[in-house]
Amino acid sequence: MVSSRHEAAHRIFQERPELLAPVFRILDLSPPEKAAVEVLTPDATEIRPLERRVDSVLRVKPFDGGDFLLAIEAQGRCDPDKAVNWAYYVSYLAAKYKQQALLLVVCQDKATAEWATGPFRVGVDDWTALSVHPLVLGPGNVPVILDPDEAAQDLTLATFSALTHGSDQDAPAILKALARAMGTGDPDSVRYYTELLDIGLGGTPAQSIWRNEMSVGTYFPGRGTLIEETYLKGKAEGKAEGKAEGAAEGEARGRAQGVLGVLEKRGIPTLAATRDRITHCADLGTLDRWFDRAFTVSTADELFTEDG
């Protein structure tokens, strides 16, 4: 079964393709100066053969020509079956789209990254029919970013770095620096990156560290992240109250509780007057704005900026 950590390791490339530029530099490849990136279907299944699915497939289209495909696989352990699978992926994609294809393997531990470099041979004895040479990202070549200013210059790379080094002894310092850097990002990016890390660090001590540093957004429903728990609790309370008070009023009260819950989890103090203003608001649009702002404000009063 695909895990949340597995999903986060490759999905960031779909959601934030600008990560490709620094990744190409890490791999000593020449990134195109300007290019468009298109997300393609990861399905590599033909009519009769067994189902095969690449984690992510991108088409990189440099403005000066030379389009190519990038198949991205997140790999959590050494797997001898991957030699055949990866050879199939690269060959199938090249044949289907009539373009050259590369394979990028993303690993979160050093041993798997060293194994994933291959090359992986397909053939008999000394006769090689195919040879797969993956590009590999892992703890050995993804930079460790400990400076908040450096992290702020490229939040996408800094987030990917934190995912890759989540098991390192430097993880607390990496996450602390990234949390400070998040203060420079726009609210949408902050919510995305914080939840991506909450998912990508799932099941590790680093997840608890990250949860203490930041509250998280709602880009990945059904994953049990901190803010999803807060949101669903408020929604449930609103639904219950809605039976007695009317659906609209109950929903508003539930959303208000969600705003207060985020502030509480982030350690933002709220005065009685502030709590009253939030809990007595009946406008769902206003409550949604306050809910979004609750992830990034430094004081509760900042929720009401531009609301008059």
CATH of the domain at 99: 3.40.1350
Q: Is residue 73 part of a domain?
A: yes
Give φ, ψ of 151 to 5 degrees. Answer: -65, -40
Q: Is residue 143 part of a domain?
A: no
Q: Can you give the pTM of this predicted structure? A: 0.67
The residue behind tokens 């901190």 is 226
Count the domains in the chain.
Answer: 3
Same domain, 291 and 242: yes
Sheet containing 135-137, strands listed edge to edge, beginning at the edge strand earlier in sequence: 35-40, 56-62, 68-75, 101-107, 135-137
Q: Is residue 56 part of a domain?
A: yes
pLDDT tens column, 146-168: 999 999 999 999 999 999 998 88
pLDDT tens column, 206-253: 888 888 776 544 455 555 555 556 555 655 655 555 555 555 677 788
- The parent domain of residue 165 ranges over 148-213
Same domain, 37 and 112: yes
- Computed on alpha carbons and rounded to an integer, the radius of gyration of the chain in Å comes to 23
Same domain, 15 and 56: yes
Say what the pLDDT of residue 117 is: 93
Say what the pLDDT of residue 243 is: 52
Q: Is residue 221 part of a domain?
A: no
End-to-end CA distance of the chain: 49
DSSP characters over 95-153: HHHTS-EEEEEEESSHHHHHHHT--EEEEETTEEEEEE--EEESTTTSPP---HHHHHH
Per-residue pLDDT of the chain (308 residues; tens, 9 = 90+): 445 677 888 888 888 888 888 998 999 887 666 778 888 865 554 444 444 578 889 999 888 788 899 999 999 889 988 878 899 899 999 999 999 999 999 998 999 999 999 999 888 888 988 899 999 999 999 999 999 999 999 999 999 999 999 888 889 999 989 988 887 788 778 888 888 888 888 878 888 888 877 654 445 555 555 555 655 565 565 555 555 555 567 778 878 888 888 888 777 888 888 989 998 898 888 888 888 788 778 888 888 876 65
